[in-house]
Amino acid sequence: MDGTEQQAQAQRTQQEHQTQQEHQAQRQTQQGPQAPQTPQTRWTRATLGGPDRPLDLLTARFDRHRYAPHTHEEFSVGICVLGASCIDYRGGALTVGEGSIVVLAPGEVHTGESAYGTYAYRALYPAPTLLTDGILGGTPHFREPLLDDPVLAAALRIAHTELSTYPDPLEAESRVPWLLTALARRHSTARPTSDTVPGVGTIALAVRDRLADELQAPPSLADLAADLGLSRYQLLRAFRTTMGMPPYAWLAQYRVSRARALLELGGRPAEVAGQVGFADQAHMTRWFGRVLGVTPAAYRTGVRP
C-alpha cells in the first residue's frame, strides 16, 4: 500500500479545497432561518474491465433527508466528508463522523439520516467479488462496520471524486480494486493471500509493452491478468513494485510523451488527444498539468518556433 499514502498526500490540496467549500455551505445553512435545503446528489458509473459489473458512485449532500430501511445487492462503502450521519444497522445505531469509513454488507437492512444539520458523503457500491482478490475465504466479513483509517479514507475519497469526473476504465480498474483489497485486508476477518509474485519484472514489462502497443484501446487489467495466469491483484502488485506507479498512471504519462512529439510537429491539442488515446482534450490537459505543469496549448506555444 505504499502508493496509497503517496496518492493521498499528493492530492491533499484538492481535497482540502473541496472540504472548505462544504464547510462554508454548512455555515451558511446554520446562519438563521432559511428555506429548506434541496438535497444535492449525483449518481455516476465507472466501468471496470472483464466480467466485473459496473461500479456505481454516489456523491451526496443532505440536510433533512432520511433513507427508508433498505438493502443493497452490493457492498456499500461510504466516506463521510462533512458533518455526521446516523445509520441503523445490525440492531444498533452508527454515528459516522467526518473522515470515517462505513462498510455495509450486501443484503443487510439499514437506514441513514443526518445526525445534526447538513452532512455529505461519498459512496461506492462494489460487487462482493471486487473485495475478494488478495484475501482467502471468499466474501470478506467486516465485524466492525465503522472504520477509522484516515489514509485509506483519503485515497478512497480522491479516487471517487476523480472517477466521478473522469470515468476512465483502466484508471478505475487500477485504483478501485487495489483500494478495496486494502480495505478487506486491513479491516475484515479474512486472511490475506501471499504478496510474493515470482518474476515481477518480467510481468511488469509485458504489461507495459501491451499498454504501449494498444495505446488507443488498451486491454483491461482483467484480460492482462488472465493472459499471464495471475489475479488482478497480483498483476497490480507486480506492476507497481517494478514501475513505481499503477498501470493507468504509466499509460497516461506515456500518452503525454507521445502527445508532446505530436504537438512539437504542430498538431492541435484537440486532435492530438484522440491520437494518443486520451478521452478528450480535457483529459489530456489534466495529465499535462500533472506531469509537466502546463497545458498542452501552452506547451505547443512554448516549443514551436
Ordered DSSP codes for 222-280? HHHHHHHT--HHHHHHHHHHHHSS-HHHHHHHHHHHHHHHHHHTT--HHHHHHHTT-SS
For the stretch 202-236, pLDDT in tens is 999 999 999 999 999 999 999 999 999 999 999 99
CA-nearest of 179, 134, 142 to 8 is 179
Q: How many CB atoms lie within 10 A of CB 256?
A: 19
Q: Specify the pLDDT at position 39.
A: 54
DSSP 35: P
Q: Specify the pLDDT at position 179.
A: 96
What nine digits make up the cell of 26? Answer: 454548512
Distance between terminal CA atoms of the chain? 45
Q: Helix, strand, coil proportions of the chain in percent (round to 5)?
A: 50, 20, 30
Type of residue found at 86: C
What nine digits make up the cell of 191? Answer: 486472511
User: CA-to-CA distance for 216 and 281, rounded, in angstroms?
Assistant: 14
CA-nearest of 207, 277, 278 to 240 is 207
In which residue ranges of the chain is pLDDT below 50?
1-2, 5-14, 17, 20-38
Contact 187, 149 (CB under 8 A): yes
φ, ψ (nearest 5 deg) of residue 304: -80, 140
User: CA-to-CA distance for 295 and 282, rounded, in angstroms?
Assistant: 10
| Domains detected in the chain | 2-191 (2.60.120.10), 194-245 (1.10.10), 249-303 (1.10.10.60)
Cell 495505446, residue?
215
User: CA-to-CA distance for 299 and 294, rounded, in angstroms?
Assistant: 6
DSSP secondary structure of 139-195: S---S-SEE--HHHHHHHHHHHHHHHH---HHHHHHHHHHHHHHHHHHHSSPEEPP-
Q: Specify the pLDDT at position 50.
A: 66
